[in-house]
Homo-oligomer: A and B are copies of this chain.
Amino acid sequence: MNDRTYNVVIVGYGGMGSYHCKLIEPVQQISVIGIYDIIDYRMELGMADGYKAYPSLDAVLADDLVDVIVIATPNDVHKEIAIKALQAGKHVICEKPVTITSTDFLDIVEVAEKENRVFTVHQNRRWDEDFRIIQKIIEGRTMGELFHLESRVQGANGIPGDWRQLKNYGGGMLLDWGVHLLDQLLLITDSQIESVAATLSYILGTEVDDGFTTYITFKDGLTALIEVGTTNYVKLPRWYLKGTEGTAVIRDWDLSGEIITRNRNVPHIEPKPIQAGQGLTKTMAPPSEESTLKFAIERPELESQSFYENFVSAIEGKSELAIKNKEVHRVLVLIETIFEAAATKSVIQRSI
């Protein structure tokens, strides 16, 4: 037929489920053959899209043609479906947040190891261009050594009006967007976390957080402010990084931004005081044009999302998983610590 080897069924054919079909489409050796959803109209949409609609999860798992299950359901049922699928001999890809607690995640990993199947979590935002650029900026040391970063995602639409508003389903912004921003953060440094402070916001009156702010310190001295908001009509920059020689900013998904550094070729010029408000300031006067350098944000070579290539390669034992389960576990432990810091209104000193 073709050279595709691995057949996928998507469980949960909502926004993310159908997005996985698009991600899989261009990839060799893997193809979607069917879907399953508990909502009838989504089954019809799946059929209209050309996929087999399985009548039940058990029917999916009983089908020997199926090699891989993609779980794109609400968060509360990820664990149950994942364990069932692994025990039925399927490889499993799960949407994020994989589970609501870190121990639930370890239970899944234990089954995957026992069944010798591949289990991984779709932390797709590791491939975001803005994050890739930030990694290159940090490695390239254009702005010296990174000592502080701020990573924010802000919207003004509130929480989507679905299960994401409900606690039992694993709703809330810390689990939804936090899991991405924290996953990215932990890839930026090899250092362990030293302390975590956090506040959750409940502006919209939902039972889950509609945003959060967390301040994290690492043992190597790096500090990070991570923030998600859903009631921000004006956005602060997506990324704001301070280095020993300069500052980098990426403002939005459009990758607008710049890096400004001191110019080492120019001797330090004490700035002249300026009038700022009802006072003079020398400290906050802008540095002279000559004393700084400005660099554009360079887009990295376009890299197609390699999640599914890596997944196929991992099934065949040729590569390690790009998204390692121990990394996913660490992020979940961090999320639990953020919930704890917010609930206890304290700074939690903990190696993570």
Q: Are A236 and B237 in contact (CB under 8 A)?
A: yes
CB nearest to A277 among chain B residues: B128
CB nearest to A241 among chain B residues: B234
Q: Are A127 and B197 in contact (CB under 8 A)?
A: no
Contact of A285 among B147, B157, B278 (CB under 8 A): B157
Number of interface residues of A (CB under 8 A): 79
Contact status of A233 and B215, CB under 8 A, knowing A153-B284, A197-B347: no
Separation of A258 and B283 alpha carbons in the complex (Å): 26
Q: Are A253 and B231 in contact (CB under 8 A)?
A: no
Is A199's beta carbon under 8 Å from chain B? yes
Chain A contact surface mostly: mixed
Contact of A199 among B16, B201, B215 (CB under 8 A): B215
> Which residues 245-275 of A have a CB within 8 angstroms of B?
246-249, 253, 258, 260-262, 270-271, 273-274
B residues in contact with A349, CB < 8 Å: 345
B residues in contact with A232, CB < 8 Å: 242, 247
CB nearest to A260 among chain B residues: B233
CB nearest to A294 among chain B residues: B233
Separation of A345 and B292 alpha carbons in the complex (Å): 34
How many whole Å from A234's CB to the nearest CB in chain B? 4
Q: Are A305 and B278 in contact (CB under 8 A)?
A: yes
How many whole Å from A1's CB to the nearest CB in chain B? 30
Contact status of A283 and B233, CB under 8 A, knowing A127-B278, A199-B223, A278-B128: no
How many whole Å from A273's CB to the nearest CB in chain B? 6
How many whole Å from A203's CB to the nearest CB in chain B? 6
Separation of A19 and B281 alpha carbons in the complex (Å): 11
Is A124's beta carbon under 8 Å from chain B? yes
Render A201-244 as a binary contact track against B, CB cut-off 8 A, 1 for contact: 10100000000010101000001010001111110110010101
Is A43's beta carbon under 8 Å from chain B? no
Q: Are A233 and B246 in contact (CB under 8 A)?
A: yes
Is A346's beta carbon under 8 Å from chain B? yes
CB nearest to A254 among chain B residues: B276
Q: Are A345 and B345 in contact (CB under 8 A)?
A: no
Q: Are B236 and A282 in contact (CB under 8 A)?
A: no
> Which residues 115-170 of A have a CB within 8 angstroms of B?
124-131, 143, 147-148, 153-157, 159-161, 164
How many whole Å from A34's CB to the nearest CB in chain B? 22
B residues in contact with A65, CB < 8 Å: none
How many whole Å from A156's CB to the nearest CB in chain B? 5
Q: Are A273 and B15 in contact (CB under 8 A)?
A: yes
B residues in contact with A276, CB < 8 Å: 128, 253
Contact of A230 among B128, B249, B283, B305 (CB under 8 A): B283
Q: Are B233 and A147 in contact (CB under 8 A)?
A: no
Given contacts A156-B262, A233-B247, A234-B260, could you give 13 more A-B pairs where the C-beta distance is less than 8 Å? A15-B273, A15-B280, A124-B278, A125-B277, A148-B201, A153-B284, A155-B286, A156-B287, A180-B279, A213-B225, A231-B247, A236-B237, A236-B240
